[in-house]
Structure 1
Amino acid sequence: MKTQRMPRVGGRGTPVLRPIWWILGMLAVAGAFGAAYWGFVLTATGQRADELALRGAAAYLDADLARRPALALLGDLPAAAAILLAVAVLAAAIARRDLVVPAIALAGFGAAVASTQLLKHVVLERPDKNISEASMNSFPSGHTTFAAAAMVAVFLLCSPRWRPLAAVFGGFYAAAAGGATFVLGWHRPADILAAYLVAAFWGLLAGLVIVLREPGWNTWNGPGSHWAAARAWTTLLWVPGVLGIAGAIVVYWRVSAALAPGSEGSLLGHLLAGVLFIVGAASFLFALGSAFFSWQTSARR
């Protein structure tokens, strides 16, 4: 009986798939998660940077002008994300006449949400470094994981030519959700980064299964084939992603070197660094994911 080989290289008009890159991607995301946990939770320096950003949010954003929109967003977030995901699942099921792929995307979403709760409450601990009063572990953020994982699932369910546009929407939505938890003082920037990485890990795993399941459907002809696949959409994520992360590093370095910790200027600077970091991390990861999926599902000519 002849066995079928996994579709690593397709013929004309089919995607060139190399699962090793997906596995390496998942390992890289897991490594980044571990590095973030070690750097921001297990070390005093990282805890201090994270805590100063949280204190900055409490000092400068503890007003109705900032808190009311954040509370409204987080109050509507589960319902909005669930509705968007349900619409995407229904549309994909009707278009493909297949429930397997929507089920895979939903499984990835559920695994991300469940693993965040497991990591936060069972696996990981936050050692007390005498830096903050709150010693209970909050890494990763559950609210942010829910939002980011839902957007990743919507991204997976979109046709490849729509994914660059979906990535822009998902990245900005995830950034808004993470920013809202930060403004309210519920989570530190590192907690939000960890949530993005959890969503990215399960998104890669679910994406690989989907691409292997339906390699033909995941084929597309490149950025010029459809307006929603234009390179400009990914650029809208790369710019705030790179500038946000770089800006956060520069602001944090300048503030730490020039101002006394806990001073008014220091708290404001760390607040700015935290906001830049959150927006930059969400934008960068969704841009990277969009570029990776575009590369792995592009048609061979």
Structure 2
Amino acid sequence: MSVDTPVQPTRPVARRGRVNGLAAVVAVAAVLGLAALVGAALTSSAGQLVDDAAMNAVTASNTTELTLLSGLGRVSLGAILAVAIGCVVIAVLRRRFALAVGAIAIIGGSNVTTQVLKDVLDRPNLGLGVHNSLPSGHTTVVVSAVAALLLVLPAVMRPLMAVIGAAAIGLTGLSTVVAGWHRPADVIAALLVVLAWTGAVSAVVGGRRGSWLLSSVAAFLGAASSVVMLVVLGVRPEHSWQDVVLAIGVLGVVALATSIAVALLTLVTPARD
């Protein structure tokens, strides 16, 4: 006669590797980072000087600029509404109704926050103009779309979404800098706004953490590819060696910030296959 071996209870997966605490930490860190960036880029004379010099260090021919402006023209209210509807459809088909609400919260909250900040933040007159353009609205639209899609898509698709998303964000953010619409700090501020909202939503929705390493590598490759594409299109530094160094710094810093932001988005977004 055989004796059944008692099955030892296993710890529930839901209790291991939850995103809630990490997502909350990322949200708070993003808010603090945004506050620090506002202080440095807007209220500091050195910050304004560096930010303006960085924007002016990269240039493009008229043909290249028209190409970039054509791409930026596709980043519209209609486009983000289409993404929002698509996110809801995906979430409903997967029967993840909380994710549908979360995606709308990320897109709506991020874009409303950006527009409010653009209106309420002051840029003191320190000799470089008083018009505040922080955060970048175009960049916020694209980053919030990527964040919402990362939330509703199956975890297995995250590396693909990370590489495509980072490339799209990098192209959009750097194009606004090349076109003279935004300074680099505006682009980074948009990344922080969406990170804050995504972290807050993920902390509320909850769930287990997914794999982040492959998605992080994919995000880095996507951001790097955006720089390569801009160079191929004809984006160049101004003529002096100082501008060459500064232009390389601008492209590198924005691309690195983009890759880190997308990696963090994949890290804090709950994984549900």
Q: Tell me if both proteins adopt one fold, taking TM over 0.5 as the criterion.
A: yes
Residue identity matched to 2:102: I
Secondary structure of the 1:136 match is: coil
Residues 127 and 179 (structure 1 numbering): CA distance in 2 closer, same or farther, change over 3 Å? same
Structure 1 stretches lacking a partner, 5+ long: 1-9, 224-228, 245-261
Partner of 2:92: 93
Please give the alpha-carbon distance, in whole angstroms, between the structure 2 residues aligned to 1:195 and 1:64. 27
Partner of 1:64: 62
Q: 1:38-67 CA deviation, whole Å, 9 max, x = no partner?
A: 12221111111111112223xx32x22321
Partner of 1:144: 139
Q: Which of these residues, 109, 113, 116, is aligned with residue 115 of structure 1?
A: 113
Partner of 2:52: 51
Please give the alpha-carbon distance, in whole angstroms, between the structure 1 residues aligned to 2:267 and 2:69. 33
1:282 matches 2:245: no
Partner of 1:258: none
Partner of 2:192: 197
Q: 1:90, CA displacement in angstroms?
A: 0.9
Please give the alpha-carbon distance, in whole angstroms, between the structure 2 residues aligned to 1:139 and 1:281. 16
Q: 1:31, CA displacement in angstroms?
A: 1.2
1:175-254 pair list within 5 angstroms: 175-211=170-206, 215=207, 219=208, 223=211, 231-238=213-220
Given that 1:120 and 1:139 are in contact with CA atoms closer than 8 Å, whether structure 2 keeps it comes out as: yes
Please give the alpha-carbon distance, in whole angstroms, between the structure 1 residues aligned to 2:172 and 2:132. 20
Q: 1:99, CA displacement in angstroms?
A: 3.9
Q: 1:238, CA displacement in angstroms?
A: 4.2
Please give the alpha-carbon distance, in whole angstroms, between the structure 2 residues aligned to 1:167 and 1:236. 6
Q: TM-score, normalised by structure 1?
A: 0.74
Q: 1:205-255 CA deviation, whole Å, 9 max, x = no partner?
A: 1122222xxx4xxx57x65xxxxx8x444213246879x9xxxxxxxxxxx
Partner of 1:31: 32
Please give the alpha-carbon distance, in whole angstroms, between the structure 2 residues aligned to 1:55 and 1:99. 45
Q: 1:152, CA displacement in angstroms?
A: 0.7
Residues 45 and 69 (structure 1 numbering): CA distance in 2 closer, same or farther, change over 3 Å? same
Secondary structure of the 2:163 match is: helix
Q: 1:104-146 CA deviation, whole Å, 9 max, x = no partner?
A: 2112210110111111112x1111111x2x3111111111111
Q: TM-score, normalised by structure 2?
A: 0.81
Given that 1:44 and 1:129 are in contact with CA atoms closer than 8 Å, whether structure 2 keeps it comes out as: yes
Please give the alpha-carbon distance, in whole angstroms, between the structure 1 residues aligned to 2:47 and 2:215. 33
Given that 1:240 and 1:284 are in contact with CA atoms closer than 8 Å, whether structure 2 keeps it comes out as: no
Secondary structure of the 1:47 match is: helix
Q: CA RMSD in A?
A: 2.8
Please give the alpha-carbon distance, in whole angstroms, between the structure 2 residues aligned to 1:18 and 1:142. 28
1:71-86 pair list within 5 angstroms: 71-78=69-76, 79-86=78-85
Residue identity matched to 1:234: S
Residue identity matched to 1:237: A
Q: 1:284, CA displacement in angstroms?
A: 1.2
1:247-262 pair list within 5 angstroms: none
Structure 2 stretches lacking a partner, 5+ long: 1-9, 227-237
Please give the alpha-carbon distance, in whole angstroms, between the structure 2 residues aligned to 1:194 and 1:163. 24
Partner of 2:231: none
Partner of 1:106: 104
Q: 1:23, CA displacement in angstroms?
A: 2.2
